[in-house]
């Protein structure tokens, strides 16, 4: 699947939004990728997950499990895991810290792919990697549908994104849109 084919799916689904957004990282940006709109079509979710799994296989061995941060990554982990034929887990926030809940377990020595929908700063992926290593697991690769940092985020493991974009994001103090008096909205809040 080429980057253009991936972006075409996002555009067709109305998932590439323009405006003034507050991202989950806290940064502001004039564009937002609402992956839920692409993934609401299960066939599209399966196609994207299969494409990501196929590319991760070229940079890594097959893992024992795939894990993502909730909520945005859950469907991505599920679909990548389907293609890889392994378990798909998610970590979720409890008191703002990502944890394994719901009886999910990672055994010492188990190898994991950490996946996400969109990498903006790499923060959620790094936190999920920490969840794996704290459980004794080993992160062998990371993947995302979209990398909006122009490929600049270094996670310390091989990584791949189906589409690498360079979309600027700003701290609120430095946001040019805030300077015009515009209010950032949190996407998905309405
Ligand atoms: Zn702003």
Per-residue confidence band for 40, with pLDDT thresholds at 50, 70 and 90? very high
Q: Determine contact, residues 110/65, Cβ cutoff 8 Å.
A: yes
Instruction: Please check the confidence at residue 168 and state whether its pLDDT lies above 70.
Output: yes
Q: Is the pTM of this model over 0.85?
A: yes
Average pLDDT over residues 143-161: 94
Q: What is the pLDDT of residue 121?
A: 87
b/e per residue 145-172 (b: at least 16 CB within 10 A): bbbbbeeebeeebebbbbbbbebebbee
Q: What is the pLDDT of residue 129?
A: 98
Q: How far is the CA of 91 from the centre of ligand 1 (A)?
A: 29
Average pLDDT over residues 151-175: 94
Instruction: Please check the confidence at residue 31 and state whether its pLDDT lies above 70.
Output: yes
Average pLDDT over residues 20-45: 93
Q: How far is the CA of 148 from the centre of ligand 1 (A)?
A: 17
Q: How far is the CA of 27 from the centre of ligand 1 (A)?
A: 8
Average pLDDT over residues 84-99: 96
Q: How far is the CA of 25 from the centre of ligand 1 (A)?
A: 13
Q: How far is the CA of 185 from the centre of ligand 1 (A)?
A: 9
Q: What is the pLDDT of residue 189?
A: 61
Partner residues linked to 22 by β-bridges: 28
Q: How far is the CA of 16 from the centre of ligand 1 (A)?
A: 18
């Amino acid at each position: 699947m080429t980057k253009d084919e991936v972006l075409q799916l996002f555009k067709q689904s109305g998932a590439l939004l323009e405006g003034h957004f507050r991202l989950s990282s806290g940064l502001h940006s004039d564009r937002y990728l609402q992956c839920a709109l692409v993934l609401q079509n299960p066939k599209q979710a399966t196609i994207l997950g299969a494409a990501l799994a196929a590319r991760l296989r070229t940079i890594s061995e097959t893992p024992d499990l795939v894990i993502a941060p909730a909520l945005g990554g859950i469907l991505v982990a599920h679909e990548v895991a389907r293609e890889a034929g392994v378990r798909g887990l998610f970590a979720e926030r409890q008191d703002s810290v990502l944890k394994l809940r719901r009886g999910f377990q990672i055994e010492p020595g188990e190898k994991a792919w950490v996946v996400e929908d969109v990498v903006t700063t790499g923060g959620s992926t790094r936190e999920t990697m920490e969840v794996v290593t704290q459980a004794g697991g080993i992160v062998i690769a990371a993947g995302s549908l979209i990398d909006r940092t122009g490929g600049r985020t270094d996670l310390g493991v091989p990584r791949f994104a189906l589409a690498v974009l360079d979309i600027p994001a700003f701290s609120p103090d430095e946001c040019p849109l805030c300077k015009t008096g515009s209010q950032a909205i949190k996407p998905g809040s309405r």
